[in-house]
Amino acid sequence: MRIAGAAKLVVVIAIFLLTFYVISQVFEIKMDANLGHIFARSALDAAARSTKPPRYKCGISKACPEKHFAFKMSSGAANVVGPKICVEDNVLMSGVKNNVGRGINMALVNGKTGELLDTKFFDMWGGDVAPLIEFLKTIQDGTIVLMATYDDGATKLNEEARKLIAELGSTSIANLGFRDNWVFCGGKGIKTKSPFEQHIKNNKDTNKYEGWPEVVEMEGCIPQKQD
């Protein structure tokens, strides 16, 4: 009887040990699988972060070199969506900021610091060109000037206004017509024509919108004014 009892005890202990061993092995496998999944996911997340394209100021396509200001701008879309002007990751003018309007929209930026000096818009359809001319004459040397049209930026322009804008480095201002889309970045005291200018003519055969051409966009790096 004692021998039989001892044999039963040995069997129970063996079963217990075997059960414990199986459970521990299964648990270890699951742990390994979970850890493997975690590490694999971490590696994938890290790879995704490393392949995500970097974001540059104002959302431009590449970083600007030192001593340059990043900018991006767009004209208005028909008479529905206003223009947008961004410099050094700061939105200076937009419909959201509620500081744009029909005509020519203009932002003045300090050529040394990149700081905003002023924003204005001038109605070139129902307004008067005189305030635009007066404002253009007050711009100081070394000031960066960014302009974008919305709806119609040309009907009230006269020869004097066009000449003053041309002196800021614009080439297209001489041909800017009714409901053309135009964006421009120049400066007071510039010695050459600005490379930063886009112009699309209002043409019923090619217009994207009924009565207006497509939006024009432009980005780039403005050299900082040196002493």
Say what the pLDDT of residue 104 is.
98
DSSP string of 79-112? TTB--EEEETTEEEE-TTTT---SEEEEEEEETT
Using an 8 Å Cβ cutoff, are 70 and 87 in contact?
yes
Say what the pLDDT of residue 26 is.
44
The tens digit of pLDDT for each residue in 19-29 reads 655 455 544 44
Say what the pLDDT of residue 17 is.
57
Say what the pLDDT of residue 226 is.
86
Say what the pLDDT of residue 12 is.
54
Say what the pLDDT of residue 118 is.
98
Number of H helices, E strands in the chain: 3, 9
What residue ranges of the chain have pLDDT lower than 50?
1, 22, 26-33, 35, 38-39
The CA distance from 95 to 217, in Å, is 16
What is the distance of C-alpha 11 from the center of its chain?
A: 75
| Nearest C-alpha neighbor of 173 from the set 35, 64, 185 | 185
Model pTM score: 0.78
Pair of tokens at residue 7: 């044999």
Q: Long-range contacts made by residues 61-65, C-beta under 8 angstroms, separation at least 24?
A: 61/219, 64/221, 65/221
